[in-house]
Amino acid sequence: MTVPSERSGGRFALVVATGQYQDAAFSTLHAPGQDARDMIEVLGDPEVGQFDVDAAIDLPDHQIRRRIGEFLDGRHPDDLILLYFSCHGALDTRGRLHLIGTDTSRRLLPTTALSSPLLLDVLDSCRARSQIVILDCCFSGSFANKGGPLEQLVQDQLTKGARKQRGRVVLTACRDGELSFEGTAPPDTPIRSVFTAALVEGLRTGEADRTGEGFISVIEAFNYAVAAMDKAGSDQSPQHSIFGGEGEIVLARNPRALPVQPAPLPAALRANLESPYPPVRHAAIEVLTDLLRSPNPAVALAARQELQLIASRDVPLVAEAALRALHGPGPIPGQRTAPTPGDGVSPAVTAVAPAAQPATPDKPVVTLAPTAIPTTTVRVLKTRKPVEAIAFSSLGDVLASGGADDLVRLWNPHDGRLINTLAGHSSWVRAVAFSPGGDILASGGGDGTVRLWNAADGTPLMDPLSDHLFPVTSVAFSPDGRQLASGSEDGTVCLWAVPTGEQLDPPGNEGAHVRSLVFSPDGRMLAVAREDDTIEIHLAETGEIARLPGHTQIVTSMAIAPDNSVLAAGSLDQAIRLWDLGDLRDPHQADRPITKQQRWPASLAFSADGRLLAAADDRRVRLWDWRRRREVCNPLEGHTRAVKSVAFSLTGELLATAGDDGTIRLWQAPDA
């Protein structure tokens, strides 16, 4: 069984769920929404699936195709990708399966729905060698229909994939020609599909781990789901197919497994590691490096612990080799070179590196560039679930966080103490924001509600604000604290009076999925980023709307400089574009975007003085001197999964970063 490790490729999942349909030929489905929430939670749980999860909920066919294309683009051969579908499925006259979007026409099925041949084609073009496809829809067994007209196409695609040493596992909720059923539930209880519910239960409880190894393979999860469905008397016959695969793909960890204990190292290797001669110990590093990649987690753990010990106490020759084995090629963590002329530091000054320290989960190593600023981790705050959003209070004495456990947490960022836990949302908390005075906290959730809390004691100020139909993705207070804006995946933007909760006239309530919204610090505008690649500038005085073109893909994050001069926006095109806001009626883009991000920035934040721009970049955070378009230090490292939110304290002391690994890291904020 292939065991996921820190040195393996990434784990990425896209959850596609459609329950609403325009064509009366497709009835409304109640299960996909809950199925999606369950899959997102279990796949994204750092104790279970460990996937970086994205979702496409109730989208038209062309947007589903685009989201799949964006999801598959840029993957690496060592990555594991998972595509999950919960929706209607339909067959055309040739027996080919089509996955239905909100705008699919039954009469125009081949041109308005995603066909299985097309999906196979794009999967075959993806560089990721390990692929999982889970289809919970009617007729899903036709995805690889043996003996049917699709079979030769499937075999052609899979033969090409096998030549590239690619493994693909396909799980379907039923056979060819069978229907997939929604389950039944008591009143006021979410409805789930039978197959997905069984699959999720096996992962969430760990009961699918029949071997007791601590990991759940795709086939183990499938077998558990089939057994659970049989026990419940289901008439469905789930199917699985494996193509071009070698070994077993691990779908999840068993959250109830016993902790892995390090295995004893071979006696000959131990003898070399204890040799009094540094060259002999140096040669043993290569063997430890190989063991670090072992599929046996106990062996890999033993190698990692030994390398960390060597890195902390051996002579430089051996310690540096151990650090490179742990962190890969490149600059040695914790080491900096002497500055050069032109870096803004006198060439007569020599920078002395501190002693190298091993990386541990609670003390990430920060690699400093020649022009780097001493940026260090102050502390790490831990939760058990992915963290989606963070925000500092105006005084910087409270940090709010929200995430996959449906809770809002309030922390003291100076000593790491948990001050309060606020419960009320019934799904992920996707956004948090403090009022300018710091006395009110707003949160937006996957349950479609906005909640206002007394920040001092954590009590709700009123009933939930529930005009959104789909998850709330962003909340923001106006600078005077009298208004709260909220944006949702349903495309709506709502304005609420604070503290009464009265709904005000929205600034523009039609459009695509809202990704982000932010008020300018002077209150003259509200910026709204939507999933159709555009940014809307809503002018407070006139109600006019200006649109900012430029990005070629979905805008994922925004921030406005404290002096109102610049709006920064990140996108799936991996660029950070900057707009001059001197003339709000005609904002113009700066000459050069920031293009050195390796992944799209999920979050952006300006420092309190406006000189630095922090940008999430997969598992790292980059700090930019945005005026010069250069980084002030090497990326901040320590998160083990994607960073979802970054925030500077308004006092300028701290930078907070949070992500899917369930941690919040607090860094000493640098000066530009």
Answer whether residue 49 is part of any domain: yes
| Of 115-124, 344-353, 588-597, minimum mean pLDDT range | 344-353
Domain finish residue from 201, 221, 253: 253
Answer whether residue 334 is part of any domain: no
Q: Based on the domain organization, do 177 and 303 belong to the same domain?
A: no
Whether residue 273 is predicted with pLDDT greater than 60 in this model: the reply is: yes
Answer whether residue 345 is part of any domain: no
- Which CATH number belongs to the domain containing residue 571 in this structure? 2.130.10.10
| Of 235-249, 331-345, 478-492, 511-525, minimum mean pLDDT range | 331-345
Opening angle at CA 40, ends 35 and 46, nearest 5:
140
Q: Based on the domain organization, do 448 and 524 belong to the same domain?
A: yes
Q: Based on the domain organization, do 189 and 225 belong to the same domain?
A: yes
Answer whether residue 355 is part of any domain: no
Beta partners for 86? Answer: 17, 136
> Strand locations in 78-220, DSSP E?
80-86, 89-91, 97-99, 114-115, 130-136, 167-172, 215-217
Q: Based on the domain organization, do 509 and 393 belong to the same domain?
A: yes
Q: Based on the domain organization, do 509 and 396 belong to the same domain?
A: yes
Q: Based on the domain organization, do 249 and 271 belong to the same domain?
A: no
| Of 26-40, 501-515, 648-662, minimum mean pLDDT range | 501-515
Instruction: Decide: 418 and 442 in contact? Cβ < 8 Å.
Output: no
Range of the domain at 210: 11-253
Instruction: Decide: 118 and 100 in contact? Cβ < 8 Å.
Output: no
**Could you say which DSSP state residue 394 is in?**
T
Section 430-456 average pLDDT: 95
Which SS3 state, helix, strand or coil, does residue 288 take? helix
Section 479-501 average pLDDT: 92
- Using only C-alpha atoms, what is the Rg of the chain? 26
CA atoms within 13 A on the CB side of 633: 25
| Of 72-76, 167-171, 393-397, 404-408, minimum mean pLDDT range | 167-171
Q: Based on the domain organization, do 151 and 220 belong to the same domain?
A: yes
Instruction: Decide: 628 and 613 in contact? Cβ < 8 Å.
Output: no
- Residue spans of alpha helices (H) in 314-376: 316-327
Q: pTM for this one?
A: 0.51
Answer whether residue 231 is part of any domain: yes
Q: Based on the domain organization, do 231 and 283 belong to the same domain?
A: no
pLDDT recorded at residue 369: 32
Distance CA 238, CA 413 (A): 49
| Of 342-356, 371-385, 397-411, minimum mean pLDDT range | 342-356
pLDDT tens-place string over residues 141-191: 666 543 333 333 333 333 333 333 347 888 887 755 445 555 554 545 577
**Could you say which DSSP state residue 363 is in?**
B
Section 14-34 average pLDDT: 91
pLDDT recorded at residue 436: 94
Q: Based on the domain organization, do 275 and 246 belong to the same domain?
A: no
Q: Based on the domain organization, do 118 and 145 belong to the same domain?
A: yes
Residue type, 214: G
Section 209-237 average pLDDT: 85
pLDDT recorded at residue 164: 34
DSSP collapsed to 3 states, 541-599: CCCCEEEECCCCCCEEEEEECCCCCEEEEEECCCCEEEEECCCCCCCEECCCCECCCCC
How many domains would you assign to the chain?
Answer: 3
Distance CA 299, CA 292 (A): 7
Both tokens assigned to 11: 């784990």
Average pLDDT, the chain: 81
pLDDT tens-place string over residues 303-320: 988 998 898 888 888 988
pLDDT recorded at residue 246: 55
Both tokens assigned to 258: 């016993």
- Which CATH number belongs to the domain containing residue 111 in this structure? 3.40.50.1460
Answer whether residue 208 is part of any domain: yes
Q: Based on the domain organization, do 537 and 592 belong to the same domain?
A: yes
Q: Based on the domain organization, do 275 and 244 belong to the same domain?
A: no
Percent of the chain with pLDDT over 90: 45
| Of 187-201, 396-410, 558-572, minimum mean pLDDT range | 187-201
Answer whether residue 354 is part of any domain: no
| pLDDT band at 666; cut points 50, 70, 90 | very high
Domain finish residue from 308, 327, 346: 327
| pLDDT band at 299; cut points 50, 70, 90 | confident
| Of 11-20, 265-274, 575-584, 589-598, minimum mean pLDDT range | 589-598
Answer whether residue 360 is part of any domain: no
Section 509-533 average pLDDT: 87
Count of CB atoms situated within 10 Å of the CB of 296: 14
